Each structure stands twice: as C-alpha cells, then as structure tokens.
Amino acid sequence: MMKLNLGQKAAVLIFLVLLIDQSVKFWIKTHMMLGQEHRIIGDWFIIHFTENPGMAFGMKFGGSFGKMLLSIFRIVAVFGIGWYLIHLVKTKAKLGFVLSIALILAGAVGNILDSAFYGLFFDKGLVYDPSLNDWTPYFGQAQLGGSGYAGFLRGSVVDMLYFPIIKGHYPSWIPFVGSEQFVFFRPVFNIADSAITVGVLIILLFQKRFFKHERE
C-alpha cells in the first residue's frame, strides 16, 4: 500500500470532511422540511433541520448585505488558511498541527459551498425579506433544479446537529434572565462547524507540543 506524505494526508482529510458534510446536507435539504426533526438518542441528540443565513452555530450577521460581506470574508479566510496549510506542509510541521489546520480549512470550505451554490442549485431556501427586515422560511422539501432561490454567495447554510443535553430554568434572582428557560447546548450546527471546532480544540490542547520548536 502506498504511503501518503504529509500533504496527501491533509488532502484526504479535507476531501473526507467535505464529502461527509455535503452528503449529509444534500440529504437533509432534499428529504426533510424546514423545522422537521428526528430524535436519535432521546431528547439528547436530535437531527433538526434549520438553515443559517449568517455565521456558525446559527448566529446571524446583518441582512442580505451582511450575508454577502460574511461570504466574501470567508473566501478570503479560506485562501489565507490554504496558503498557511501549504506552508506547513512544505516546512514539514507536526502532523497533528497540519491535520488540525486541514480540519479548519475543510469546515470553512464546507460552509462556503452552501453560501456560494445552494441558492443557485436548490429551488427553496431561507431568503431575506427587506420589508420584514428578517429571513423568511419556506414550506415543503427543496429540490435540485429550477432558477434557484438566491444569487451567488447568498445561499443559506444547512444545519442539523442539535444536542439539547441539559434543560432547566435560570434562578429567579439573576437579572434579566431570571426564571427563563435555558438549554445546553442550544445552537444547531453541521459537520463543517464541527470540523472547525475540533481543529481549534486540538490546537489549543496540544499547542505546547505543536509549537515546541518555535519556543526553543
């Protein structure tokens, strides 16, 4: 069996993350309706279909103009991360560090694909309504084809992983949120978000090992 070099290992990891991420998103998008969910492990692990017009983990960033700015920023960031990954491969950096950056790059690219092309390829999606100053939902299952629901870089990101592990209420004495319900973990996210998070966590946990040479 051919032994993969450092660059090839990073490329394979990026390819696998993108393949899984996009396959899951395509299936969710074409087989579930917005807001529909399937309980996998009781109330702890739920596949909940939602679309995110903004940043990771369901956060929003302005309206349609903000969405475009965010998409452009993501593309610039991807080129920067890609350049850095190539530099790490050429300088033969630690395998764990290279793969961590590869995870972050794969996650960023995965969400950019949604923003860039889903509005062109699918007939339904979350769109911004200026008259309501909000993003409006749709009904039914989306399908490939048609004229699309949004322009280039204006598509919404598909999210589906939901882990409401702990539910309860804030103590009544806490200002502003007293007695209100809280859920941990509330955000709905996707495989690409997970790849970014895992990559960052690995770097934080093993930074002393990864940057030992620089410290010396």
Beta-bridged to residue 129, according to DSSP, are: 134
pLDDT at 57: 47
Nearest residue to 113 (alpha-carbon basis) of 2, 1, 17: 17
Neighbours of 177 (CB within 10 A): 12
Length of the chain: 216
For residue 175, give both structure tokens.
């200002």
Q: Which helix (H) or strand (E) holds 61?
A: none
Beta-bridged to residue 182, according to DSSP, are: 168
Catalytic residue among 21, 43, 123, 159: 159
Q: Which amino acid is at 125?
A: G
- Burial per residue of 92-118, b for 16 or more beta-carbon CB atoms within 10 angstroms, e otherwise: ebbeebbbbbbbbbbbbbbbbbbbbeb
Assess whether 159 carries a catalytic annotation: yes
pLDDT along the chain (216 residues), means of 10: 88 98 97 96 93 64 69 91 97 96 97 94 90 86 90 92 86 79 84 97 92 60
Assess whether 129 carries a catalytic annotation: no
∠ CA 24-148-36 to the nearest 5 degrees?
A: 40
Alpha carbon separation from 42 to 37, 114, 184 (Å, rounded): 12, 29, 15
Largest CA distance in the chain: 64
- Per the CB < 8 A criterion, the answer to whether 85 and 107 are in contact is no
Nearest residue to 135 (alpha-carbon basis) of 62, 26, 191: 62
